[in-house]
Amino acid sequence: MTPKVNRCLIDELLADVVIDYEVNKKRSLKKVKRLLKLHLAPHFGGWRAAAISAADVRSYVAKRQQQGAANGQINRELSMLTRAFVLGCEGGKVLTRPKIAKLQENNVRQASSSAPSLRRCAPNCPRRCGPWSRSRTSRAGGRTARC
């Protein structure tokens, strides 16, 4: 065990996430940088990574919910924190990581059209895509396919 293990700051782990996204050419790099800068770094910045517990993460979640953040947004932030700890474990910077539970998301899409409205508009659909668009609708989760 090296002297640096369990002594690194969370800032180093968050920087590793940015490097990981750059190396893997992830398209969401800008979003990740923004998310880390605006939310995770201000809250956890300066903390030793090994000192962050599940209770600390829960307090972060509660703070973000009080700020009005949606559960989906908080889950993206928690994913970045989880990724930071995974990279830290792989890199030998931390030995353990906290249990980070995700929140339940309520983002079920609403169907853009109902079955009766589809039956009304199906006859007006061009012949070349009529049956295909009708069968495609059920596979698209209730959303109509474009002709």
Q: Quickly list DSSP for 10-44.
A: HHHHHHHHHHHHHHTT-TTHHHHHHHIIIIIHHHH
CATH of 10-90 among 3.30.2010, 1.10.150, 1.10.3470, 1.10.287: 1.10.150
d(CA 66, CA 33) in angstroms, rounded, equals 23
Distances (CA, A) of 18 to 26, 34, 59, 121, 143: 10, 10, 24, 48, 36
Span of 14-23, 69-78, 104-113, 136-145 with lowest mean pLDDT: 136-145
Portion of the chain with pLDDT greater than 70, in percent: 69
Q: What is the mean pLDDT of residues 90-97?
A: 90
Query: Quick one: angle between helices 71-90 and 54-66, nearest 10?
Result: 150
pLDDT for the residue numbered 6:
74
pLDDT tens string 22-60: 999 999 999 999 999 999 999 999 999 999 999 999 999
A 10 A CB-CB count for 80 gives 20
Residue limits of CATH 1.10.150 in the chain: 10-90
Mean pLDDT of 83-99: 92
| Rounded Cα gap, residues 34 and 50, in angstroms | 24
* pLDDT at position 79 over 50: yes
| Average pLDDT of every residue of the chain | 82
Question: For residue 106, what pLDDT is reported?
Answer: 81
Would the pLDDT of 147 be above 50? no
Q: Which residue has the higher pLDDT, 9 or 2?
A: 9
Q: How far apart are CA 100 and CA 21, in angstroms?
A: 21
